[in-house]
Amino acid sequence: MRDDYMERQSLQPLTVSQLTQQVRELVESNFDQVACLGEVSNLVRARSGHVYFTLKDENAQISAVMWKARAQRLKFELQDGLEVILVGPIQIYPPRGSYQLSVEQAFPQGLGPLELAFRQLQEKLSAEGLFDSARKRPLPRVPQKIALVTSSTGAAVRDMLQVLTSRWPLTHLVIVPVPVQGPTAAPAIAEGLQQAARLPDVELIITGRGGGSLEDLWPFNEEVVARAIAASPIPVISAVGHEIDVSIADLVADRRALTPTEAAQIAVPDIREVKSELLDAQSRLQGSLRFFSQQARNYLDAIANRRVFQRPVELLNKPRRLVDEQEQRLTRNIQSRCDRSREQLRTVAAQLDALSPLKVLARGYSITTDAETGALIRSANNCKPGQTLRTQLNNGELLSSVTEIVTPEK
């Protein structure tokens, strides 16, 4: 049956590889470049750098791949849920017998790719806090050395040099030349910022360029430049384009200038204004010194006219009176004390006189002592024959020798 059917249909059996190859040639020759609108889903970024995802609408879906070389050149990031127009050939993948869209270009639907890339990077860096005002550093008031990271041939650097040198000619200026346009500009600007920060004594960095299209200004919207500004140990002023142009570099920098000329005006003070301020300060200081000097003179005059300074001797009158009064009180106290002491002495003397042995002797009594030792003889038993005695009378002394001791009979 099978052979009869094959003969009737004039069919020659093919291998799977042969059939797949024929389908591949048919599809790829007829769909070598298509544009397809759909929503991105199931996006996967491989370590190799290739991006795999599905493009779908309400009723169908197709696999898609963007190879590493194409993905690196894409300005914005493909994300799930993003509606895009993808351009590229349809390819057959023989190992699975499936077809996929090989994406060469991608365009966000409703937004330009650069505008979308700007918004995506803005949201990412904002979430990391790179735009927070708390991390922005104050600029030095009078920087001694400034590095300009910009093109060395553009009008922007000429404008900045002219303004900087006219406003504050004392500042030392260093130009770090970098391209500010084109595919190699962003990494070069980032490297220039790092070089500027390594220069000795640099206190401020200015980076930017003059006006141009969004594509021209795009290097200052690259993530590598934004992170180089954020990592700079030196304060950075960003001056990109004109007043209406706002770049990622402007948002990350410590200070945004509307134009390169304004950046130069922000960076240094105007020497004419400083001189005027100094002259005003000098005038105010001189006036203050004159005022306070006159006040001090008036105060001294007022003090000098006081009575105490006109007749200083009067200051001594009161102390003199006090001294005299104290002397009088002291004299009276001493006299009174002496009188009391004298009276007490007379009383004690009278008492002592009444008790004096001499008074006793005057009444006929005597005092006998040993002539040699002076010991008082109180009893006959204290004497011995031959002992010499001294007898004290009222009007003289007697020396006698003991010849006999007589004691009363008991």
Structural domains of the chain, with CATH: 2-110 (2.40.50.140), 121-269 (3.40.50.10550), 359-401 (no CATH)
Whether the pTM exceeds 0.95: the reply is no
Tokens of 171: 């500042």
Q: Is the pLDDT score of 358 beyond 70?
A: no
Which one has a higher pLDDT value, 154 or 360?
Answer: 154
Q: What percent of the chain has pLDDT over 70?
A: 92
pLDDT recorded at residue 144 = 95
Q: Which residue has the tokens 């970098």?
A: 178
- 58-98: pLDDT as tens digits: 888 889 999 998 888 888 888 887 888 899 999 888 888 88
- 306-323: pLDDT as tens digits: 776 667 776 777 787 888
Q: Is the pLDDT score of 249 beyond 90?
A: yes
* CA of residue 405 relative to chain centroid, distance: 117
